[in-house]
Structure 1
Amino acid sequence: MPEASLLPVIAVIGPTASGKTALAIELARRLGAAGRAAEIVNADSMLVYRGMDIGTAKPTAEERAAVRHHLVDVWDIHRTATVADFQRLARAAIADCRDRGVVPLLVGGSSLYIRAILDEFEFPGTDPAVRFRLEAEADHSGLAELYARLLAADPAAAAGIEPNNARRVIRALEVIELTGHYTSTLPEHRYAVADVVQIGLSLERDVLDERIAARVERMWADGFVDEVRRLEAQGLRQGRTACRALGYRQVLDFLAGTIDEATAKETTITRTRRFARKQLGWFRRDDRIVWVDATRPTAELAGALLAGPLRGLEAGRPEGRR
């Protein structure tokens, strides 16, 4: 067994519905068969919530029994999650895997979460009192008023934040109040975690759009509306992070009677497609990522990776890493 410091972190990234989970599980299975244990470290901000299963395409019980998953079902839906929380927990899980001689497979997430985990990435401080006051103001006066305040204080920051994204609007105002300025620009591409291989799943837009539509149809068929109804009874609307997840927000609007079910489904498809394109756009700016064809059969793709970018992993460290 090589030293823990020589074990790579394999990041499997790509847009929603590109097949990241299936590929990571197949890689872990093949590595395990070759005598090299591997475990999955979740980097999707919504898989951490217990009960949010169908709408997040959470790995099944069988998949999680076959390969150990970290940072799945660790918080209740009332918990407000931050990128800083995720950075701390994911880095600790990666270090734990390496200490035990296990290859960590970091899977999922937006570019922000992947970058925060893998790269040199520091966060401005936070002040619970300031945050609570701003949240109360948003509840009392409306988010539009807070966004107007952000626009006046820092037009560039406001331009990079959607007006209906309460979490980011409030965070930007908090940072401005605490530090005097806010930036949404990601830092340079410089790893804070040693020995990283990033595998990006790429596919044409029309194929991605079809996959997303099929996934949402499957969510509805699997009982997504009932899942949201059950979570609503448990307080989903009060969870400031969980209630804004794609699909969940739309079904909550349907349950509140502000839109019909067909609109909830179609809006979920449209916004998921938009989010997936943003994901790809951000990831494409990182020239450290090795891009592969996501339409290849999973077993074939895993074999090609172990014979290519991950060559030599069974016996030692992969060759040719940046």
Structure 2
Amino acid sequence: MRPLIAVVGPTGTGKSATAIMLARQFGGEIVNADALQFYRGMDIGTAKLGEDERGGIRHHLLDIMDISEEASVATFQRQAREAIAGIQERGHLPILVGGSGLYVRAVIDELEFPPTDPHIRRRLEVEAAEHGTAGLRQRLASADPVSAARGLDERRLVRALEVHEITGRPFSSYMPQRTYRQPTLQIGLDLDRARLHERLEQRVRGMHEAGLLSEVRDLAARGVRATKTASRAIGYAQFLEVIDGTSTVEEAVESTTIATRRFARRQLTWFRADPRVNWFDALDPTSEDRIRAAVGEFDTSTGG
């Protein structure tokens, strides 16, 4: 069985192009791990590749949800793992690509999601609202001292107690470990901060020129404002303000650029914390050959 390749890193570093290059070279198929690219109609603002930009490579988990739906990491984990298994059964190389860190880890690592029960959660929320959190914290200290010591906010406190009540297990026992569930090679792309910032500004301006405002207008007509995830997405939230008359286009471009740069920093912090990622400079002319060599060697060594 062929291994799993994951192409990760901050937005704007060329992950999609690298994934397509690898898929062409090694007979691969691509699995999307960018949560916002799940949504139909959210194309320009998510930098989603069009059919004609995918190089004839089969892509999975794009355009699988309506904007009215809320993305779930647990659901994505199941769908992505099923897609990867199918790719491997066909003898192809699965290539996971995206900058949504938790979504990537949900696929590549031994990561179990605890169950939920809205009735138990609501009861605990009511208790916190009516009596404060002191009693809840006392119960958590007894049931799960590891979680209690982390000083959880009220939402996480309720969640920890909910999980313990449902499963009898401490919430802390579900904390992810950096343990691959199958042979995996992570390829990380990064570049100089100043150059990345420049590229992100160019990307946002390019999105505006490509019709982002019209895309947001169409989504607004479909009720995007009532959604939890889609309406808050970078670019979409800012251009909704243009439609509402509370912001100019230039202000939306500037605020989207700033928010995108902050997001890229958070992505980099997430992926840099994982010592298993193999980093490459996205603008180094030798990187493509070195990435290709690393993947080829890994694929061969793991029986691909």
Q: TM-score, normalised by structure 2?
A: 0.82
Measure, in 2, the Cα distance between the counterparts of 1:150 and 1:40: 45
Measure, in 2, the Cα distance between the counterparts of 1:15 and 1:249: 20
Q: CA 1:130–1:214 in 2, change beyond 3 Å: closer, same or farther?
A: farther
Q: Match for residue 45 of structure 2?
A: 55
Query: 3-state SS of the aligned residue for 1:72?
Result: coil
Aligned length: 282
Pairing partner for 1:11 from 6, 28, 49: 6
* 2:42 is the alignment partner of 1:42: no
Q: Match for residue 218 of structure 2?
A: 230
- For residues 123-143 of structure 1, what are the alpha-carbon distances to aligned partners after superposition, in whole Å with 9 as ceiling and x for unaligned? 222235578999xx9xxxxxx
Q: Match for residue 236 of structure 2?
A: 248
Aligned residue type for 1:21 = S
Mapped contact 1:8–1:317 kept (Cα < 8 A): no
Mapped contact 1:125–1:175 kept (Cα < 8 A): no
* 2:195 is the alignment partner of 1:207: yes
Pairing partner for 2:291 from 297, 301, 305: 305
Aligned residue type for 1:301 = S
Q: Match for residue 123 of structure 1?
A: 113
Measure, in 2, the Cα distance between the counterparts of 1:275 and 1:267: 12
Aligned residue type for 2:274 = D
- For residues 176-216 of structure 1, what are the alpha-carbon distances to aligned partners after superposition, in whole Å with 9 as ceiling and x for unaligned? 46236877x96221112x11010000211111111111100
After TM superposition, which residue ranges in structure 1, 4 or more long, deviate above 4 angstroms?
128-134, 149-155, 180-183
Q: Match for residue 34 of structure 1?
A: none
Measure, in 1, the Cα distance between the counterparts of 2:227 and 2:122: 14
Pairing partner for 2:102 from 104, 107, 112: 112
Pairwise CA distance, 1:30? 1.9
Mapped contact 1:14–1:283 kept (Cα < 8 A): yes
Q: CA 1:133–1:242 in 2, change beyond 3 Å: closer, same or farther?
A: farther
Report sequence identity in percent. Answer: 46
Pairwise CA distance, 1:309? 4.6
* 2:163 is the alignment partner of 1:179: yes
Pairwise CA distance, 1:257? 2.8
Which has the larger helix fraction? 2
Q: Match for residue 22 of structure 2?
A: 27
Structure 1 unmatched ranges of 5 or more: 32-36, 138-145, 159-168
Q: CA 1:249–1:150 in 2, change beyond 3 Å: closer, same or farther?
A: farther
